[in-house]
């Protein structure tokens, strides 16, 4: 049996959406890889968990939080499939041998920290550690998900970045996520509202990171840099400042906007969405000049 024999359900066609302006106004691209909430029926039948438990891995409504920002004139790509089904913020073949009934291909990365933690490209657990599947999967099914969902998503994201760079001379990728408040509350130190990850300066110009940190702080938000989230595969893979591509990951505390038990927007949702739209608008108007001034000084 080959991966070609596994055809995706029509529920996941298309596998992602792109909100694109008629004319792009600024060198930014927004990405929401974990807000997908279309759970295929076959996946639900494979899972030992109920649909609400599966949603613990989902960055609920992050695409909606940034929709107003995208409508300012920058493109946004958002996955429709859920993170528990396939995670595009991983290498393409971070596969967990404990999850599969047959041997992994030689090119699979089965030793990454994320795989060992159960959160590879095809996750074995949801965010709080519960096992997803009733039985082990066959490798061909995982390869089909990667072929039919992962690669098209990244091809589209790469195209948005390349088109932005061709138009403006450089591109700034904002990778949009949310984090569970309970997990954060168990960590040492105060619970932040936002965590900005730039791979400790390797993926994004520190001027941009500091600007966003200071702007959020001026709005009254508690912001931390790179801890505990320094940026995942998307930030690391696309962030190449020396090649004209900046990448910055934003993690938002779900307590700001979500009822985390019911997975419904909380009373704070509209305020946060308004704040995000205003802050991104400030970035669109200020950051290009900030980076140009820095380049001139160098």
DSSP, residue by residue, 244-277: TEEEEEEEEEGGGTEETTTTEE-TTHHHHHHHHH
Q: CA 262, CA 58: separation in Å to the nearest integer?
A: 13
* Residue 277 pLDDT: 97
* Residue 1 pLDDT: 37
Count of alpha carbons within 13 angstroms of residue 32, beta-carbon side:
30
CA distances in angstroms from 137 to 5, 50, 94, 190, 247, listed in the order given: 15, 18, 15, 40, 34
Return averaged pLDDT per consecutive 10 residues of the chain, 298 residues in all. Answer: 61 95 96 97 96 96 97 97 98 97 96 96 93 97 96 98 97 96 60 96 95 96 95 97 96 96 96 97 89 64
Residues in the chain: 298
Answer whether 205's CB lies under 8 Å from 175's CB: no
Which residue in 24, 66, 9 sits closest to 272, CA to CA?
Answer: 66
Query: Domains (ranges, CATH) in the chain?
Result: 3-37+51-82+144-297 (3.40.630.40)
């Amino acid at each position: 049996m080959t991966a070609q024999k596994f055809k995706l359900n029509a529920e996941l066609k298309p596998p992602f959406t792109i909100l694109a302006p008629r004319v792009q106004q600024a060198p930014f691209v927004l990405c929401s890889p974990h807000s997908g909430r279309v759970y295929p029926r076959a996946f639900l039948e494979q899972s030992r968990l109920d649909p609400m438990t599966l949603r613990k891995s989902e960055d609920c409504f992050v695409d909606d939080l940034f929709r107003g920002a995208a409508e300012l004139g920058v493109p946004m790509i958002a996955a429709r499939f859920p993170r528990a089904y396939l995670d595009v913020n991983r290498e393409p073949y971070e596969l967990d041998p404990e999850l599969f009934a047959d041997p992994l291909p030689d090119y699979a990365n089965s030793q990454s920290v994320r795989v060992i933690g159960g959160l590879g490209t095809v996750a074995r657990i949801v965010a709080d550690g519960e096992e997803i599947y009733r039985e082990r999967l066959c490798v061909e099914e995982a390869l089909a998900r990667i072929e039919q969902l992962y690669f098209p998503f990244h091809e589209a994201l790469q195209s948005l970045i390349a088109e932005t760079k061709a138009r403006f001379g450089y591109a700034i990728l904002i990778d949009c996520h949310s984090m569970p408040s309970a997990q954060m509350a168990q960590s040492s130190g105060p619970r932040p509202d936002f965590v900005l990850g730039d791979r400790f300066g390797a993926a994004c110009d520190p001027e941009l990171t500091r600007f966003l940190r200071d702007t959020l702080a001026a709005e009254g938000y508690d912001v931390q840099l790179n801890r505990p989230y320094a940026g995942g595969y998307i930030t690391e893979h696309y962030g190449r400042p020396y090649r004209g591509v900046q990448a910055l990951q934003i993690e938002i505390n779900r307590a700001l906007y979500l009822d985390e038990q019911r997975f419904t927007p909380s009373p704070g949702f509209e305020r946060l969405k308004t704040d995000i739209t205003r802050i991104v608008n400030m970035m669109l108007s200020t950051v290009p000049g900030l980076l140009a001034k820095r380049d001139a000084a160098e």
